[in-house]
Structure 1
Amino acid sequence: MMTPLHRKLLIFTVILAAIMELIDISIVNVALSHMSGNLGATLEDTSWVITAYAIANVIIIPITSFLSANLGRRNYYIGSVILFTFCSFMCGHSSNIWMLVFFRFFQGIGGGALLSISQVVVFELFPKDKQSTAGALFGAGIFIGPTIGPTLGGYITENYDWPWIFLINVPIGILVMISCYFLLREPSVKPEVTKVDWTGIALLAIGIGALQTVLERGEVEDWFETRYIIVLTVIAVSTLLFFIYWELSIDKPVVNLRVLKSKSLSIAAILTFVTGFGMFISIYITPVVAQRLLSFSPYQTGLLLLPGALFALLALKTCGTLLQKGVSPVIIIAAGFLLFIYFNWRMSGMTLNTSASDVATSLIFRALGMALLTVPLTMLAVSSLDDKDVGQGAALNNMMRQLGGSFGVSIINTYVAHRFSAHRNELTSNITPYNVIAMDRINGYIKYFQSKGFAYNEAKLKALKLTENIIMRQSSLLSYRDAFFLVGLFFVVTLPLLLFVMNKSKKAKTNMIISDH
């Protein structure tokens, strides 16, 4: 019999493990340039450090329920912690970029269980009438991880060195390992052990791996102008189509796609995809804007996210209370969407003079929106599923969030590049001898450089170069403003889907996340 102290310790342990896994999604974002210089790799090659982890996560998450049932939840979880911790150690001691990418991939494989099974354990340790409290508690961990990742990464990068971004996981992983060894038990009702669907696993791994690579690398490689992107696209499409056919034609699939017949799950999956789209894009481009255009340091950029994180913790608690009192998840989801729309509207109006406090205030609305979406979307997803299908439904919904993020980052990179070219051409076209304002500005620059001792011709070259730099910065700003507006538009367009599930019971199933999320 588990004592209250042991119960609290286990809850803390598994949430800590989930936070550790989620931190590693975003902690490297602010350190890529340091890794690139230290390992003698291009920034494009170094970005595979992010890509490898994302591919591994998306492959492993939908089959976590299957692996847990067949290997034993305790064995699978502790084994995943060991794999994650060992690969974190090896990432920190990598001597070249491809060694780092290799261990980063397997770190992501181990990390998939840390998120999925941790949630299962938290919900099992709460009584039925406290399930929404458990959802809010775990939701705090889900939210905190990606939020503090850039802050922690910026601090470590500025004050120590990039390997410590990975090495910091080692002592935490060892503590989690020890705690779970003594406290974690198998579930009271063991899931059915089935024959391994090796074909399904292989098709999923190949298809998702190819798709993720196309999404992550397509913009860098100029999409279908590159042969390997074309080949991987064909592989992804054909393999995933065959995967769908295969999983629907066998009795014990590794991923039960039949659960998507549920209208609630299908709509929740779309909304979760859009949520992942917005969440990952905002956490990806906000640091870029802050550092490249607003001249914040990595650490200062990370600090922008902290006020929002604090408000989000309060929102998560409020969300849990509302759900427990019977407020419909649909209403809370609508509020979350509206807050996120407002965040994107604010960010789409920023200027080069936007202050840190203005950005931090905007990020508070983002944080509140995300906090109100974390638990209710999962509740909506599984609200009409049979108990035996709840685990698979939650896992599919979670995968949609990851895919939304991958699609989002890929789409936004391409979109920003196109909008940058359009804005640059538009601004450059205004620099003509007939534009009095532009000519006065350039002549002012020439006089300034002449006052510093430069000859006229040299001063003119410097003035033109300065003008070009200003155009580049302004074009970048306008393209990122367009990006935020586009994300907000996605939320606006998909919000009406909630009308199709408005008649669902106010109190969705709350035992759903006693399954793999």
Structure 2
Amino acid sequence: MSLSDEQIQPQPLTGFALFLGVICLAMANFLAILDTTIANVSISSIAGSLGTSTSQGTYVITSYAVAEAISVPLTGWLSSRFGSVRVFVTCFLLFGVFSLLCGLANSMTTLVLFRVLLGFSGGPLMPLSQTLMIRIFPKNKSHAAIGIWSMTTLVAPIMGPIIGGILCDQYSWPYIFFCKVPFALVAAYACWHLLRKFETKAEKSGIDIVGLIMLVVWVAALQIMLDEGKDHDWFESNRIVVLGIIAAIGFVSFLIWELTARNPVVDLRVFRHRGFSMSMMTLSLGFGAFFAISVITPLWLQIYMGYTATISGYATASMGILAFFLAPVIAEMSSKFDPRPFVFVGVLWLGIWTFIRSYANLDMTFFQVSWPIFFQGIGMPLFFVPLTAIALGCVRESEINSAAGLMNFIRTLSGAFATSMVNTSWERETRYVHSELAGLTDQHGVATHVMQSGGMSLGQVRSSIDWLVQKQSVMVATNQLFMLIAAIFIVAACIIWLAPKPKHAVDSSAAH
């Protein structure tokens, strides 16, 4: 390296400046990922407060995930066009502003709108916080930077349900959004003053506008179709048919355009590598299944088991405890050995424990609910960490950035689609089981006679029996869905064997 190059290269931060920089960058990554789970345990409270159904309340989750998925591929272009530090700080500030607006929303429509804008601003925070973290550390301590960044990636989903539950129970649901505002604004201001010397050169680079428009159109059309299909009797509705046609045509057009464009917004050519393709199939099925059980569990616990948002948050967050401690060990082992067996065992482990959880009942205690979730968490680092090594180890060195961005895109999109589909399936299956059980319940009127003898009116008796039937219907439907999800996990586990052994080693924290 020449003297002029050394002068151009900014010196890493040291002392208190480095400590503060790490805290602020870790905060950005933490908040962006926290938002994917913080609302999970608060859906029923949000829906009740805004006068909508629980199924419509899940739009709060899906809208953020879809917007975040769309904005991630734009990070590279935005950084080259305006500078990585400027883009990072702007997105961080907007994240704080839109979090405030989410808390102030007085209808589901405005809340979903602000969640979309929040997702657009939160998407670039994850990859940029990682690259900036590495840039401010001395070269010989870059592994420490990656370790800190990875730790926030694992801690955030664990803390989301707990923080969301406590704030929702102790205060009200808007505080799950308000709590992030001061941290985002203060950390963004500090980042601007600390990181300005690490700004990258801005260049007038072109963007694939046509590809971006196609991406937004087909993803939005498909997500709206999945969200609203159950309310409009699916393809019996012209609205759903039109959305389905737009999604199908948009997706095919997007594929053709991106595969032939000179500078595509999403580089689909990396799918020519069999290892990457098979890894993405495992990721989309496995993460979709994982996110589905993460959405259903708190809804079932709060509505039908009588849990508060806080207690259901403790139950669902127990999955991340073992994952947090095992992640560094798995990362070290998967870099030394073939990562495919780790992924296979991890996804299969998630499937086995999902199958065990499919034998739940309404008389379970908190311990009986939470201990299978706790042990299921062992599969998380075995699944996510080595899968990254396989996916990025099967592509060329020059394609790693594109592959990492595409991996994040598929992961967030899979979670959004799974949320919509599992809610639709849950409601449909519950209605079917309810209609079956209703015809078999108290056929001879014995229970009705006993309750009337106890002083209940006929209306109260019918209401009471219907609620008991509804609770049992939901329990049966939940167990049946968990069995299906367990089968999806098993299929995803087997697919990874279709991927070849990675050609070269890749830092397993390169994408999350």
Given the superposition, is the C-alpha separation of residues 38 and 289 from structure 1 closer, same or farther in structure 2, using an over 3 Å criterion?
closer
CA distance in 1, matches of 2:440, 2:107: 46
Does structure 2 retain, via aligned residues, the 8 Å contact 1:332–1:372? yes
Deviation of residue 194 (structure 1)?
3.2
Trace 1:47-446 onto structure 2 (pairs within 5 A). 47-122=58-133, 137-184=148-195, 194-324=205-335, 326-431=336-441, 433=443, 439=444, 443-444=446-447, 446=449
CA distance in 2, matches of 1:308, 1:43: 24
Query: After superposition, what is the alpha-carbon deviation per residue over 1:489-513, rounded to whole angstroms, capped at 9, x for unaligned?
Result: 01111222222235335x6222882
Question: Where do 5+ consecutive residues of structure 2 fail to align?
Answer: 1-10
Given the superposition, is the C-alpha separation of residues 255 and 502 from structure 1 closer, same or farther in structure 2, using an over 3 Å criterion?
closer
CA distance in 2, matches of 1:411, 1:287: 16
Secondary structure of 1:493's partner? helix
CA distance in 2, matches of 1:416, 1:35: 19
Query: After superposition, what is the alpha-carbon deviation per residue over 1:192-214, rounded to whole angstroms, capped at 9, x for unaligned?
Result: 86322111111112222222222
- Cα RMSD of the aligned pairs, angstroms, is 2.8
Asked if 1:478 corresponds to 2:476, the answer is: yes
CA distance in 2, matches of 1:367, 1:104: 28
Given the superposition, is the C-alpha separation of residues 37 and 468 from structure 1 closer, same or farther in structure 2, using an over 3 Å criterion?
closer
Match of 1:510 among 478, 490, 507: 507
Does structure 2 retain, via aligned residues, the 8 Å contact 1:132–1:510? no
Residue 25 of structure 2 aligns with which residue? 14
Query: After superposition, what is the alpha-carbon deviation per residue over 1:411-438, rounded to whole angstroms, capped at 9, x for unaligned?
Result: 22232233223423433343475xxxxx
1:446 is aligned with what amino acid? H
How many residues align structurally?
501
CA distance in 2, matches of 1:301, 1:9: 34
CA distance in 2, matches of 1:187, 1:511: 25
Given the superposition, is the C-alpha separation of residues 498 and 133 from structure 1 closer, same or farther in structure 2, using an over 3 Å criterion?
farther
CA distance in 2, matches of 1:194, 1:416: 46
Given the superposition, is the C-alpha separation of residues 179 and 129 from structure 1 closer, same or farther in structure 2, using an over 3 Å criterion?
same
Residue 450 of structure 2 aligns with which residue? 447
Secondary structure of 2:247's partner? helix
Given the superposition, is the C-alpha separation of residues 309 and 276 from structure 1 closer, same or farther in structure 2, using an over 3 Å criterion?
same
CA distance in 2, matches of 1:222, 1:163: 32
CA distance in 1, matches of 2:344, 2:148: 21
Question: Where do 5+ consecutive residues of structure 1 fail to align?
Answer: 434-438
Q: What's the TM-score, normalizing by structure 2?
A: 0.89
CA distance in 2, matches of 1:64, 1:128: 24
Residue 436 of structure 1 aligns with which residue? none
1:510 is aligned with what amino acid? D
CA distance in 2, matches of 1:149, 1:221: 32
Given the superposition, is the C-alpha separation of residues 216 and 490 from structure 1 closer, same or farther in structure 2, using an over 3 Å criterion?
same
Does structure 2 retain, via aligned residues, the 8 Å contact 1:83–1:110? yes
Secondary structure of 1:304's partner? helix
Given the superposition, is the C-alpha separation of residues 215 and 453 from structure 1 closer, same or farther in structure 2, using an over 3 Å criterion?
closer
Secondary structure of 1:247's partner? helix
Secondary structure of 1:406's partner? helix
Does structure 2 retain, via aligned residues, the 8 Å contact 1:343–1:366? yes
Deviation of residue 116 (structure 1)?
2.4
Residue 4 of structure 2 aligns with which residue? none
Secondary structure of 1:508's partner? coil
Deviation of residue 4 (structure 1)?
4.5
The more displaced of 359-368 and 294-303 is: 359-368
Does structure 2 retain, via aligned residues, the 8 Å contact 1:329–1:379? yes
2:455 is aligned with what amino acid? G
CA distance in 1, matches of 2:298, 2:308: 9
Given the superposition, is the C-alpha separation of residues 365 and 121 from structure 1 closer, same or farther in structure 2, using an over 3 Å criterion?
farther
The more displaced of 264-273 and 26-35 is: 26-35
CA distance in 2, matches of 1:429, 1:45: 29
CA distance in 2, matches of 1:189, 1:147: 33
Given the superposition, is the C-alpha separation of residues 243 and 512 from structure 1 closer, same or farther in structure 2, using an over 3 Å criterion?
farther
CA distance in 1, matches of 2:381, 2:130: 16
